[in-house]
Amino acid sequence: MNYLDYFLFIFSVVIMIATPGPVMILVASAGLKGGYKKALETIFGTNLASLVLIFISVLVLKGVLSINDSYLNIIRILGCLYIGYLGFTIIKEVIQAPHPEAIQTVSAQNGGFKKGFLVGISNPKDIIFFSAFFPQFVSITPQLNLSLTILTLTWIVLDFLTLSLVYIFFRRLSNSHLYPKILGLCGLLLLLIALYGLYQSVI
């Protein structure tokens, strides 16, 4: 086994997951609103989305499936629009809440398994990662299937642990007076990520 490539993969995955993006911000906002249960549901949703994208990447690697660039771009645009909608929803909720405590009493529309899956499956960053970056590490063992199994299991574990730590970090801030501002910032970042993704998709 090529341990150097494997550790590079681990490092790259942790950096990618921990870097502010739609998935990380959705998990953070879900945790702020609904506690660890809601954050965990969201993480499971994003994890399933990752497995679907990995499966598609494997099919492409084995020559079973080919994806037209135009279709891929349409998926990215739709994903950006959905992410932007979620960001707008969070910002609207923060603005309309009469006081900070009221934010947590509003029905937790943000996060959950379904939203986690939809954001994960349409996240431009994940689409690019699994279609372009992931295949670079399939040579960690001489056997393609074994390499893919190791990489997939590693991704699932790292995704779960990293996003759980993100939740814990943001949850500690939930009792402070900065809570509404943090949640609003999450919404704003989602909106900016969506706009940037749209810009990248149309140029």
Q: What pLDDT shows up at residue 154?
A: 92
Domains in the chain, number: 1
| pTM for this model (two decimals) | 0.68
Task: Please give the residue range of the domain that contains residue 9.
Answer: 3-202
Q: What is the mean pLDDT of residues 4-13?
A: 85
pLDDT (average), residues 26-52: 84
pLDDT at 181 over 60: yes
Q: Is 136 a residue whose pLDDT tops 60?
A: yes
pLDDT at 126: 67
| Contact assessment for residue 21 and residue 27, using Cβ atoms and an 8 Å cutoff | no
DSSP 52-101: HHHHHHHHHHTTS----HHHHHHHHHHHHHHHHHHHHHHHHHHHH-SSHH
Work out the pLDDT band at 27, boundaries 50, 70, 90. Answer: confident
pLDDT of residue 102: 47
Long-range (24+ apart) CB contacts under 8 A made by 140-149 are 140/1, 140/2, 140/5, 140/6, 140/9, 141/1, 141/2, 144/61, 144/62, 148/54, 148/58, 148/61
pLDDT band at 203 (very low <50, low <70, confident <90, very high): low
